[in-house]
């Protein structure tokens, strides 16, 4: 099994100094990468900026912006059996990136924002025989929103988790199938959840024995 894993946040720059991002630590994605390596899988890890070292033995690709993550993933995905998309990708970016450092002007400013390209939906649209497992971090109507994301992005499964997972050593997740059925509920350290998820995929994912 050769699997693509996305991890960490992306950044979208207002100017050459300031950027928009989120508090993703990358721990979930890196733990999944480690668990997959432990099972003998080939791992291609595409990561935004985090304070973690890539697990030894993986093929590592460092990115910063959402566009960079999208380009790397769409280039690498055709050579993989599936993708586990844990990255917390920015949904919006400034319409214009300013050159240099924006100076204070003594009053409020308005920044026009536009949507970024959807990395997971892009992979779902080209998956063909490959499988796609996404992560959904939801606060309001969590299960309903996760199901909408699963269908809209053409995932085989989606892992629902909550904002409390950001930056935490632990997590509580629900694995949901394309039929909208709960396959598993797991709680505990992210390393334990990662191991359980990869072991589940080893049994249920297409091409898991390759």
Please state, in angstroms and rounded to a whole number, the distance separating the CA atoms of residues 126 and 206: 16
The neighbour count for residue 107, using CB atoms within 10 Å, is 5
* Contact present, 46 and 4 (Cβ < 8 Å): yes
Choosing from 22, 145, 154, 207, the catalytic residue is 22
CA-closest candidate to residue 207, choices 117, 95, 80, 31: 80
Residue ranges of the alpha helices (H) in the chain?
A: 27-38, 66-76, 119-125, 142-152, 190-204
Q: Is 22 a catalytic residue?
A: yes
Catalytic residues: 22
């Amino acid at each position: 099994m050769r699997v693509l894993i996305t991890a960490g946040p992306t950044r979208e720059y207002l100017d050459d100094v300031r950027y928009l991002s989120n508090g993703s630590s990358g721990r979930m994605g890196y733990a999944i990468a480690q668990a997959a390596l432990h099972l003998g899988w080939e791992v291609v890890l595409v990561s935004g900026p985090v304070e973690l070292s890539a697990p030894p033995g993986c093929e590592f690709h460092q990115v910063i912006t959402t566009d960079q993550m999208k380009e790397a993933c769409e280039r690498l995905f055709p050579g993989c059996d599936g993708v586990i998309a844990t990255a917390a990708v920015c949904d919006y970016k400034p319409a214009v990136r300013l050159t240099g450092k924006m100076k204070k002007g003594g009053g409020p400013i308005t920044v026009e924002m536009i949507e970024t390209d959807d990395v997971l939906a892009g992979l779902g649209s080209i998956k063909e025989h490959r499988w796609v497992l996404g992560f959904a971090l939801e606060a309001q109507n969590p299960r309903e929103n996760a199901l909408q994301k699963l269908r809209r992005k053409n995932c085989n499964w989606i892992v629902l988790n909550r904002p409390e997972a950001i930056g935490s050593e632990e997590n509580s997740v629900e694995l949901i199938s394309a039929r909208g059925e709960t396959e598993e509920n797991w709680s505990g350290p992210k390393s334990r959840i990662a191991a359980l998820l990869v072991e589940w995929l080893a049994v249920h994912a297409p091409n898991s024995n390759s």
